[in-house]
Amino acid sequence: MNTTLSFTHRFVPASAEGEKPLLLLHGTGGDENDLLDLGRALAPHSALLSPRGRVLENGMPRFFKRLSEGVFDEADLLAQTKALAAFIAEAREAYALEAPLAVGFSNGANIAASLLMQAPNCLAGALLLRPMQPYRVRPQFRLNSTPILMLSGAFDPIVGKVNVDGLAEAFTEAGADLRYETLPTGHALSQMDLTIAKEWLSEHGRA
């Protein structure tokens, strides 16, 4: 655990050259250790940067506040997005990293989506696992062929299909290189998620 930068985080150096670093963004109740195994499984040789969300909800870390299930505190979301973008810049300088690919699950996927909208230059792309639209009113943003993989669950009780379809539409209209799939699963990750994510990273995770 590292506390010298603006977010408590874990950093795992690359074990070989040629792969983009991964920014690992956990879901509600996770921490900086939560997605390390997933990151290593997806990209065995990449550097891993894994911050802990700075907001607590009933003692559980998150990346931003929410008012209720599926209803975000958008002022806090924007503030935390800017803070996370600043941390990415700090970490890139501290660890000599190029722009990372975000790998976000649930709450982590949502702040990654916000980063793509509010600070698109800080990411090289994103793998969004069970994301939803971060803003009720879509901000104006451009993504110049930024690679994005979105994986949603057909039986997800938390995120509705209309919501995710709207997010996919926003990324497409902004010019992203988007791959969007709905899998026959719920909110939890499945082996299908891992298989598709590894395939996508083999194409888009090269430095």
Q: Which residues are catalytic?
A: 106, 156, 187
User: What backbone phi and psi angles, to 5 degrees, belong to 6?
Assistant: -75, -15
Angle between helix 74-95 and 107-118 (nearest 10):
80
Contact 53, 24 (CB under 8 A): no
Q: Is the dihedral angle over the CA atoms 204, 119, 172, 23 positive or is it negative?
A: positive
Contact 31, 20 (CB under 8 A): no
Q: Which residue has the tokens 């299930």?
A: 69
In terms of DSSP H, where are the helices of the chain? 36-42, 74-95, 107-118, 161-173, 191-204
